[in-house]
Amino acid sequence: MRAVLVGPPGAGKGTQAQILAEELSIPKVSTGDIFRANVSGGTELGKKAKEFMDRGDLVPDEVTNAMVKDRLAQSDAVEGFLLDGFPRNVPQAETLRTILADLDTSLDVVLELKVDEEEVVRRLSGRRSCPECGRVYHVEYDAPKEPGKCDNEGAELYQREDDREETIRHRLEVYREQTAPLVEFYTGEGLLATISATGPVAEVTARAKAAIDEKKRSAA
Ligand code: AP5
């Protein structure tokens, strides 16, 4: 399965990607997670990405596309992957099509997660993440067993730099202007499936799995 998750910041892409990737036994490839790991590791890539991420802007395509190309060429992604946060605009989608064509393959499904903007602000302002395993929590909706600590690692949870309300509003604008056109692009490619991402996490997962299965059946 080669799948992409598309949706505004806070739609639950990371949350669903983690669950679905485990269930489908494919790697989750999150460009946001790769950038954040590079920022905290102080790499050249991290230095290039940080100022864009802190503002809530997209990292330039040449940086992002090269990183994704390398990641998808790794052996664990040969049989499939779940992309979370890439592509983020039409030029990135065209690059992805070329990267996959060079590997003699193509996407199976693009799953759009829909959620309204006020819910996004509520979700992101309460988000906490584990620096060790990357698991994402919410202080109210998906709280860890012990406040502030990861259930898996016991590590201290942190709040992302770009989860301040002003930056969240800017990320939503960037989504509307640059990422939302992907819905039309992938509808045209016959790959889009749309679900509501509102409601409990398990219900959204069930909708996502049903939509993926339906897409697989209609392609067979
Ligand atoms: P990225 O990390 O991809 O951020 P994003 O797309 O803004 O998405 P988020 O991670 O904020 O939200 P999500 O949809 O994953 O939601 P989550 O599951 O965490 O990118 C960050 C930055 O990196 C970008 O701004 C850009 O600078 C750069 N970047 C990344 N990719 C790029 C690219 N391709 N090109 C250029 N630049 C790029 O959930 C959010 C919260 O809600 C959590 O607290 C969670 O517990 C909670 N939650 C989840 N589901 C539910 C539910 N059903 N009900 C209630 N709460 C829920």
Specify the pLDDT at position 97: 97
Residue 109: helix, strand or coil by DSSP?
Answer: strand
What are the backbone dihedrals phi and psi of residue 69, each rounded to the nearest 5 degrees, phi first? -60, -45
Specify the pLDDT at position 175: 97
The rounded Å distance from CA 220 to ligand 1 centre is 32
- Residue 152, pLDDT > 80, answer yes
Segment 206-212 shows an average pLDDT of 97
- Residue 219, pLDDT > 80, answer no
The sheet with strand 81-84 has its strands ordered as: 28-30, 81-84, 2-6, 109-114, 192-196
Residue 20: helix, strand or coil by DSSP?
Answer: helix
Which residues lie across from 192 on neighbouring strands? Answer: 110
Query: Is 83:179 a contact under the CB 8 Å cutoff?
Result: no
Query: Is 93:182 a contact under the CB 8 Å cutoff?
Result: yes
pLDDT > 70 in the chain, percent: 100
- Residue 76, pLDDT > 90, answer yes
Band (161; pLDDT cuts 50, 70, 90): confident
- Residue 85, pLDDT > 90, answer yes
Instruction: Give residue ranges with CB within 6 A of ligand 1.
Output: 7, 9-15, 31-32, 35, 52-53, 56-59, 64, 85-86, 88, 92, 123-124, 126-127, 136-138, 141-142, 162, 171, 199-201, 204
Average pLDDT in the chain: 94
Residue 3: helix, strand or coil by DSSP?
Answer: strand
Q: Which two tokens stand for residue 46?
A: 């991290």
Band (220; pLDDT cuts 50, 70, 90): confident
Q: What's this model's pTM, rounded to 2 decimal places? A: 0.93
Query: Is 90:58 a contact under the CB 8 Å cutoff?
Result: no
pLDDT in tens, 24-52: 999 999 999 999 999 999 999 999 999 99
Question: Domain map of the chain by residue range?
Answer: 2-115+178-219
Band (212; pLDDT cuts 50, 70, 90): very high
Q: Which two tokens stand for residue 13?
A: 């892409």
Task: Report how far residue 135's alpha carbon sits from residue 18's, in angstroms, rounded to the nearest whole number.
Answer: 8
Specify the pLDDT at position 174: 97
Residue 188: helix, strand or coil by DSSP?
Answer: helix
Which residues lie across from 196 on neighbouring strands? Answer: 114
Pocket test for ligand 1, best of 4, 5, 13, 196 (most atoms within 8 A of CB): 13
Pocket test for ligand 1, best of 4, 15, 64 (most atoms within 8 A of CB): 15
pLDDT in tens, 89-141: 999 999 999 999 999 999 999 999 999 999 999 999 999 999 888 899 999 98
Q: Of 89, 112, 95, which Cα lies nearest the Cα of 182?
A: 89
Q: Which two tokens stand for residue 174?
A: 């960037």
- Residue 23, pLDDT > 90, answer yes
- CATH class, domain 2-115+178-219, is alpha beta
Which residues lie across from 29 on neighbouring strands? Answer: 83
Ligand 1: nearest atom to the Cα of 199 = 53
Catalytic residue among 48, 114, 149, 160: 160
Band (218; pLDDT cuts 50, 70, 90): confident
No. of helices (H) and no. of strands (E), the chain: 9, 7
